[in-house]
């Protein structure tokens, strides 16, 4: 029994304010000190201030591990998909291409893939992950499901549909109550309108 039993990782993209506290704190994590592994995506700055943090989603059946020819990516019994094992990783970047969330990154300077391991050094000794501890907006949270259900309006889900591929992740995302599964399609991305965030349009009134 440790201090993080029963705690899960939750992302609420709508809360993100783009402050990068997570990015700065990630590189303070002892297993990869000096290297930040979380991604903070600026969606389309000309149109909007929207940003979105991306940690490793820790898939139940991780595609990165499936496509690894060197068997360098391991999942712990508690479901955390680890960064690549240095002695095994051959730097081929299969995982980089295969991950539907764009999480693994090939680090040329060490010829190795590195990615978020949910601060395994911290969570395994009862501490919360760095990013989810410092996040000022609650966009990243490491807490109990019960606490999320009690305090948030959205619903935590972890099932994704990428075209023909179904993915279940350890990390949850908060979505409006009616959504059961996140269906990500190219068409959806292309048709996202940003006019509602154009201040000039707002000034025109109803």
Partner 1 sequence: MAKPPVTIPELVSQFGPTLNRIPAKGWNAEVEPDRIVKTHCCFCGQQCGIQLKVKDNRVIGFEPWEDFPFNQGRLCPKGVKRYMQDEHRDRLKAPLMRKEGAGFVPVSWDEALDKVAGEIKRIQQTYGPDSFSLLGGASLTNEKAYLMGKFARVAVKTANIDYNGRLCMVSAAAASKKIFGIDRAANPWSDIPLAKAILIAGANVAECAPITTGYLWQARENGAKVIVMDPRMTPIARNADLYIPVRPGGDIGVFNGMLHIMIERGWINREFIAQHTTGWEQVEETVRKYTPEYASKIAGVPASMIVKAAEIWGPASTSFLLHARGIEHHTKGVLNCMAGINLVVATGRIGREGCGYAMITGQGNGQGGREQGQKCDQLPGGRDIENPEHRKYIAGIWGVPEESIPHKGLSIIPIFEAIHAGKIKGLLAISSNPMVSLPNNSYIREAFEKLEFFSQIDFFMSETARYADVVLAGSLMEEDEGTTTNVEGRVIHHKKVVDPPGDARVDWKIICDIAARLGQAGKFAFDSPKEIFDELRVASKGGICDYYGITWERIDREYGVCWPCPSADHPGTPRLYEGNKFNHPDGKAHFQPVEWQPAAEEVDSEYPIVLTTGRVVSHYLSGTQTRRIGALVDQYPQPLCEMHPQLAAKLGIAEGDFVKVESRRGSVTVRASVVKTIRPDTVFVPYHWPLDRAANNMTVRAIDPISNIPEYKICAVRVSKVPAPHDAIAELEMEAGGVR
CB of 70 to partner 1, least distance (A): 26
Residue 177, Cβ density class (10 Å: 0-12 exposed, 13-18 middle, ≥19 buried): exposed
Contact flags string 24-63 toward partner 1, x per CB under 8 A: xx-xx-xx-xx----------xxxxxxx------------
In the bound state with partner 1, the residue whose beta carbon lies nearer, of 19 and 92, is 19
How far is residue 68's CA from residue 88's CA, in Å, rounded to a whole number?
Answer: 10
Q: Which two three-digit tokens encode residue 184?
A: 């990500």
Answer for which of 128, 158, 171, 173 binds partner 1 (CB under 8 A) is 128
How far is residue 23's CA from residue 20's CA, in Å, rounded to a whole number?
Answer: 5
* Residue 193 binds partner 1 (CB under 8 A): no
Answer for which of 6, 69, 126, 136 binds partner 1 (CB under 8 A) is 136
Sign of CA pseudo-dihedral 71, 77, 79, 83: negative
Residue position matching structure tokens 């992740």:
169
DSSP-derived pairing of the beta strands 7-11 and 165-175: parallel
Q: Which helix H or strand E contains 91, and what residues bound it?
A: none
Answer for which of 6, 144, 149, 197 binds partner 1 (CB under 8 A) is 197
The SS3 assignment for 119 reads coil
In the bound state with partner 1, the residue whose beta carbon lies nearer, of 27 and 159, is 27
In the bound state with partner 1, the residue whose beta carbon lies nearer, of 25 and 73, is 25
Residue 152, Cβ density class (10 Å: 0-12 exposed, 13-18 middle, ≥19 buried): middle
For the segment 3-22, give every residue that binds partner 1 (CB under 8 A): 14-21
* Residue 107 binds partner 1 (CB under 8 A): no
Q: Which helix H or strand E contains 57, and what residues bound it?
A: none
CB of 158 to partner 1, least distance (A): 20
Answer for which of 75, 138, 155, 159 binds partner 1 (CB under 8 A) is 138
In the bound state with partner 1, the residue whose beta carbon lies nearer, of 109 and 206, is 206
In the bound state with partner 1, the residue whose beta carbon lies nearer, of 48 and 70, is 48
């Amino acid at each position: 029994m440790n201090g993080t039993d029963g705690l899960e990782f939750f992302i609420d993209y709508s809360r993100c304010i783009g402050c990068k506290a997570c990015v700065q704190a990630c590189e303070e994590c002892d297993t990869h000190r000096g290297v930040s592994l979380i991604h903070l995506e600026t969606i389309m700055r000309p149109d909007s201030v929207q940003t979105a943090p991306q940690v490793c989603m820790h898939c139940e059946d991780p595609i990165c591990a499936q496509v690894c020819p060197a068997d360098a990516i391991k999942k712990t019994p508690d479901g955390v998909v680890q960064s690549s094992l240095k002695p095994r990783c051959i730097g081929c970047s299969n995982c980089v291409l295969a991950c539907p969330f764009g999480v693994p990154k090939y680090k040329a300077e060490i010829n190795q893939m590195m990615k978020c391991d949910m601060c395994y050094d911290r969570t395994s000794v009862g501490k919360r992950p760095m990013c989810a501890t410092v996040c000022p907006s609650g966009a990243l949270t490491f807490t109990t499901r019960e606490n999320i259900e009690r305090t948030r309006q959205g619903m935590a889900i972890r099932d994704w549909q990428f075209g023909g591929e179904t993915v279940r992740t350890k990390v949850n995302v908060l979505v409006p109550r009616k959504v059961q599964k996140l269906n990500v399609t190219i068409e959806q991305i292309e048709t996202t309108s940003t006019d509602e965030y154009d201040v000039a349009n707002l000034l025109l009134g109803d």
